[in-house]
Structure formats: structure tokens, C-alpha cells
Copies of this chain bind each other. A is one copy, B any other.
Amino acid sequence: MINKLINKIKKTNAPIVVGLDPMLSYVPEHIQRKSFQEYGETLEGAADAIWQFNKEIIDKIYDLIPAVKPQIAMYEQFGIEGLKAYQKTVNYCKEKDLIVIGDIKRGDIGSTSEAYAIGHLGKVQIGSKKISAFNEDFVTVNPYLGTDGIKPFVDVCKEEKKGLFILVKTSNPSSGEFQDRLVDGRPLYEYVGEKVAKWGEGHMGDSYSYIGAVVGATYPEIGKELRKIMPKAFILVPGYGAQGGKGADLVHYFDDNGLGAIVNSSRGIIAAYKQETYSHFGAENFADASRQAVIHMIKDISNALDRC
């Protein structure tokens, strides 16, 4: 799957991933109205609205990008109905041959981590059958519980030829509270980065490992260091756009071939029509605004990489 991701990045010339993190407030009123008319102001109605919103965006951008990253929390807040919309979104993106990175940030220990890994990446044994549940291609994982929490995910990834992005340095302002703490004079995220490199050694694709890392766009100097510490880990980079990261900040996350990283934008793409730059599209054409925002983002990052 990491080879497929890299091939798709080369083909689209777009090392980017679109975060499908729909807040109900991003969904234009005409879509909300229709869903509420059909299902009422219910969990089902909300789930239908975000699914219709997603579908229209996916239809307008799938040819430009290699991957999407649905954030499961945005669906989980609507309970079972929301999670059905998550699953529909995952399935639909896979039909469009997009790689799906489930942003689930799960992490537990032993058989519990295994259950998450099986449910999201693998197949669960039921009687004599093996059945997939959510079936994403990659998921994000939280490392706080150490190797016990990660190994079951890696084992399932090996079996299924799927991958992980493990949180190393997150993009948020308070990420430093624990992640930057100095351990023997070096920040904790470097230790986590070393572990990611080690966990990934046993599950290599052609040029990068199936086991990648999350490093926020908002800390470019740290990204540069971590790139060296984890030379074979593909880096998923959140924090571009709405959170403040720019293409020019991100060049050191990439290798000399413009590979090794994939930059995420969520709100900046899916709610583009709410920005002044794209407001001329209007709420009716929100998905066209998203397409334009994707094109701009690809250009921003390509320009930054070309300048190197």
C-alpha cells in the first residue's frame, strides 16, 4: 500500500491528502435542508448531510489527488449513523481508487490494539469466516502506550500489506507539553521517532516503510530533524493551511525526489467556499471551490519543492 501511495503521488504529481473532516457547519444550507427534510433533525439527518457533502466533493476532486484522510471523530459525534457515513465515505473513496487514511488515532494494548487493527485494517474471524469491517488502507495511531500498543497494528499491517502513521510530533500549540520534554537532553518526540524507524524496519516497501509518522506542518525545524531520524518513514503532515503551515515550510519533510511526505489539508479544502478567495463560487458550487483550492495547494507545494 505504501508503494501504491507513492505511485499515485507520482502519477498525480500531488503529495497531498484531503482531510474529509466535515463539521455540520461546513455543509451548505441547501444540503442540510434536504437531508433534514428527508430524515428530520436527527443523527440520521446529520449523517446524510455530511455524506452528501463528502460525495459531491469527492466527485469533484478525486482525479487530482492520491489520497483522502477522513477524521473519524467528525462522524463518531453522530453516533452509529455518523459512523455509517464514515464507512460509506471510506467505501466510496476506495471505489474512486483513492487511498484512504483513516484518521482514528487509536492506541491501546495487546488484544485491544489488535481489535482496533483488525476492525480498521484487517479481517475479524467470525466462526469459519474472516470479514472486513471498516477496511481503510492506513490508519493513524497514538504511541503513548509503547511497543505493546503498536506491535498488534504492525502485525496486521504486514498481513494485509497496509500501513500506519504514528503520532510523533502533532501540529497543535500544546503538543510540546509532553512531546518536547527533554529526555537525556533530547526531546521525547525524537525517541518516539527512533521507535517509529525501528518498528518500520520489518515492514518495508520498495523505498519507504509501511510504518510512517505524523509530524505537524507547524514545526518545520522539528520536521527537518525527524526526517533524518526516520529516513524510511513516510511523513503525514497535518497543520497546512488553516492551522498556519505553508508549502515553503515543508520542503525538509520531503526527500530529494519530492517524496517521503504527504501534506494534509482539511478545512482549507472542504470548506474552501467559505473563504474570501473562493467565495465567488457560492455555497451551491462548494465542491468547485474545493477543486480550485486543491489546485492551488498542489501548486503551492510544487513551487516550494521546485525551488529547492
User: Which positions in A face B, CB cutoff 8 Å?
Assistant: 21, 23-24, 32, 36, 41-43, 45-46, 71, 73-74, 76-80, 82-84, 87, 105-113, 115-116, 118-120, 124-129, 131, 133-134, 142-149, 167, 170-179, 181-184, 188, 191-192, 195
- A109 CB contacts on chain B under 8 angstroms: 170-172, 175
In the assembled complex, the CB of A63 is this many whole angstroms from the nearest CB of chain B, namely 28
Most B CB atoms within 10 A — which of A24, A80, A108, A192? Answer: A108
- B110–A172 touching, CB < 8 Å: yes
Structural contact, B107 and A177, CB atoms closer than 8 A: no
Quote the shortest CB–CB distance from A113 to chain B (angstroms).
7
Distance between Cα atoms of A73 and B45 in the complex (Å) = 26
Whether the pair B146, A107 counts as a contact (CB closer than 8 A) is no
Give the residues in chain B near A133, CB-CB below 8 Å.
Answer: 43, 76-80, 82
Interchain CB contact under 8 A, A45 and B124: no
A80-B87, A126-B42, A133-B78 given as contacts; is B170 within 8 A of A192 (CB)?
no
With a cutoff of 8 Å between Cβ atoms, the chain B residues found around residue A106 in the complex are: 73, 105
Give me 23 A-to-B residue pairs in the complex whose CB atoms sit less than 8 angstroms apart, sorted by A's number: A24-B125, A42-B131, A43-B126, A45-B127, A76-B133, A77-B119, A77-B133, A78-B119, A78-B133, A79-B133, A79-B134, A80-B83, A105-B106, A105-B107, A109-B172, A143-B144, A144-B144, A145-B170, A148-B172, A148-B174, A149-B172, A181-B183, A183-B183
In the complex, the chain B residue whose C-beta lies closest to that of A129 is B41
Contact residues in B for A80 (Cβ distance below 8 Å): 80, 83-84, 87, 133
Contact B126 A79 (CB under 8 A): no
State whether B178 touches A143 (Cβ < 8 A). yes
Out of B23, B73, B175, name the residue touching A148 (CB < 8 Å): B175
Determine the chain B residues whose CB is within 8 A of the CB of A184 once the complex forms: 182
Give the chain B neighbours of A192 by CB distance below 8 A.
Answer: 178
Determine the chain B residues whose CB is within 8 A of the CB of A176 once the complex forms: 146
Which residue on chain B has the smallest CB distance to residue A176?
A: B146
The answer on a CB contact under 8 Å between B173 and A148 is: yes
Q: How far is it, in angstroms, between the C-alpha of A180 and the C-alpha of B195 when the chains are bound?
A: 15
CB distance from A51 to the nearest CB of B (A): 14
Q: A112 is contacted by which of B73, B131, B182, B191 (Cβ under 8 Å)?
A: B73
Residue pair B23, A111 in contact (C-beta under 8 Å): yes
3 pairs of A and B residues whose beta carbons are closest in the complex:
A79-B133, A146-B174, A146-B177
Question: CB < 8 Å: which of B78, B116, B179 contacts A76?
Answer: B116
Residues of B within 8 A of A77 (CB): 115-116, 118-119, 124, 133
A131: which B residues are within 8 A, CB to CB? Answer: 42-43
B177 touches A195 (CB 8 A): yes
Interface pair A142/B107, CB less than 8 Å apart: yes
Residue pair B177, A112 in contact (C-beta under 8 Å): no
Taking each of A116, A178, A183, which has the highest tally of chain B beta carbons within 10 Å of its own beta carbon? A178
Q: How far is the CB of A57 from chain B (nearest CB, A)?
A: 18
Given contacts A115-B73, A183-B181, contact A46 B126 (CB under 8 A): yes
